[in-house]
A and B are shown apart, each in its own frame.
Chain A
Amino acid sequence: QVQLQESGPGLVKPSETLSLTCTVSGYSISSGYFWGWIRQPPGKGLEWIGSIFHSGNTYYKSSLKSRVSISVDTSKNQFSLKLSSVTAADTAVYYCARLPPNDYGSWFDPWGQGTLVTVSS
């Protein structure tokens, strides 16, 4: 079955760029579907960050748009997140997930296990 696994540094300094990769197994990214990033600050709720279609079309949360970039590498069956100029407010567990196409709004399934990224000097 489809599995997703996040990877990347667990500690990022303020003002630097957070970089995470999601490796997909059991399904070829180039076959379709959207792929997304969601985060959850400690003890808080879920926040959608952005999504990318397998063709490369991207969609970002408006309040993060100036700092976010999501890309896909079909040769490695991975997609990546970059979040620039991070602050302590960006400290969160970051999840990657797959989204099926749906005319009335997609859902996230399955999810990766998540990776905690702490922003601190």
Chain B
Amino acid sequence: QSVLTQPPSVSGAPGQRVTISCTGSSSNIGAVYDVHWYQQLPGTAPKLLIYKNNNRPSGVPDRFSGSKSGTSASLAISGLQAEDEADYYCQSYDSRLSGSVFGGGTKLTVL
């Protein structure tokens, strides 16, 4: 069981907007720690999508956005495209565990 909780799956039609939640606790997201998001396309290594809650690395489309509030964070994907079909993971730091923690991952299906 992961320290950060994500829905196992979400889906949406092309052009729609979907959100993926990441719920933590007072020792990670609810504390001062940042949340980061990764996209993992089938058969490939994870790729950084959002860092420090709401920052996009160079090259990541602005269709992807992140937010954090309280003990939760969210990744929003607007204008859904077929190429967005992938697994998405959130990640933060946990002070009680003294290390990085990941969510269990969410599989996005583009209908």
Give chain A's interface residues, CB within 8 Å of chain B.
Answer: 36, 45-48, 50-51, 59-62, 95, 102, 104-114
Contacts and interface: CB of A to CB of B under 8 A. Distances in A.
B33 to A, nearest CB: 4
B103 A45 contact: yes
A50 B98 CA distance: 11
A45 B104 contact: yes
B91 A108 contact: yes
B45 interface: yes
B102 A48 contact: yes
Nearest to B105: A45
A2 to B, nearest CB: 12
B99 A109 contact: no
Contact of A45 (B2, B47, B92): B2
Interface in B45-81: 45-48, 51-52, 57
Given A102-B34, A102-B52, A104-B33, A59 B98 contact: yes
A45 B2 CA distance: 9
Contact of A108 (B46, B97, B98): B46
Q: Which of B46, B89, B91, B98 has the most CB of A within 10 A?
A: B46
A61 B32 CA distance: 20
Q: Which of A46, A50, A62, A104 has the most CB of B within 10 A?
A: A46
A113 B44 CA distance: 7
18 contacts: A45-B89, A45-B102, A46-B89, A51-B100, A62-B99, A102-B34, A105-B33, A105-B92, A106-B100, A107-B36, A108-B91, A108-B100, A109-B57, A111-B45, A111-B46, A111-B47, A112-B45, A114-B45
Contacts of B98: 59, 62
Nearest to A46: B102
